[in-house]
Amino acid sequence: MAGDVGDVTEPAGLRWAAVALIVVPDPEAFLLIRRAERAGDPWSGHLALPGGRRHADDPDLLATAIRETHEEVGIVLERTSFARALPDVVPRTPALPPLAIRPFVFTLAERPPIAPNPEVAGTVWVEFATLREPGARDELGMELGGAHRVVPAYRTAFGPVWGLTERILTLYLGPPAAA
């Protein structure tokens, strides 16, 4: 169930993952990573939230988000900084692995030091206000699986945020205001 931090049952062929939406104040911002370019990784080079696939020894998906964040960017998240879970998301492209992702929101009092591992090509704190500016949410044309698609995206100075990460940010921010 969305919002649950507990255990999940994995139907045959479905893998679970968790990501951390790390929110800091003054001004309110969140951490984005650029995934390193890696052969065979369908999300290679994409902008994303820190996170990854659940390991068998993770007691729950919250533990997955905490472990993956520490591994990828060196930030130690405490369960006490967990604010809430957002609804689960799944890829809409059949070419992607059968995966369900649970996003967890963490609130921190300040921006912690970041120490990216080799899976992360870069990091940036993005102010939520920039995502709410007129024109920040747009559509992006791209080639996916040999077909041209138009997808919703947030435009940032770090590059476009689209796909699963765009959907998670929209769950957090709420739907865009009508023009």
CATH number at residue 71: 3.90.79.10
99 membership: H or E segment, kind and range? strand 99-107
29: domain range?
Answer: 15-129
Question: Could you tell me if residue 45 is inside a domain?
Answer: yes
Per cent of the chain over pLDDT 90 is 66
2: pLDDT strictly greater than 50: no
d(C-alpha 25, C-alpha 108), whole Å:
8
Q: State both tokens at 18.
A: 């968790």
Q: State both tokens at 70.
A: 């520490």
Contact 100, 150 (CB under 8 A): no
Q: Determine phi and psi for 147, rounding to 5 degrees.
A: -125, 150
Question: Could you tell me if residue 135 is inside a domain?
Answer: no
pLDDT, tens digit, 9 for 90 and up, residues 4-43? 555 555 555 688 999 999 999 999 999 999 998 777 665 5
Question: Could you tell me if residue 93 is inside a domain?
Answer: yes
Q: Report the chain's mean pLDDT, rounded to a whole number.
A: 87
Adjacent-strand bridge partners of 15: 99
Question: Could you tell me if residue 170 is inside a domain?
Answer: no
Domain count, the chain: 1
Question: Could you tell me if residue 141 is inside a domain?
Answer: no
Question: Could you tell me if residue 79 is inside a domain?
Answer: yes
| pTM, 2 dp | 0.87
Question: Could you tell me if residue 162 is inside a domain?
Answer: no
How many residues comprise the chain? 179
Question: Could you tell me if residue 88 is inside a domain?
Answer: yes
1: pLDDT strictly greater than 50: no
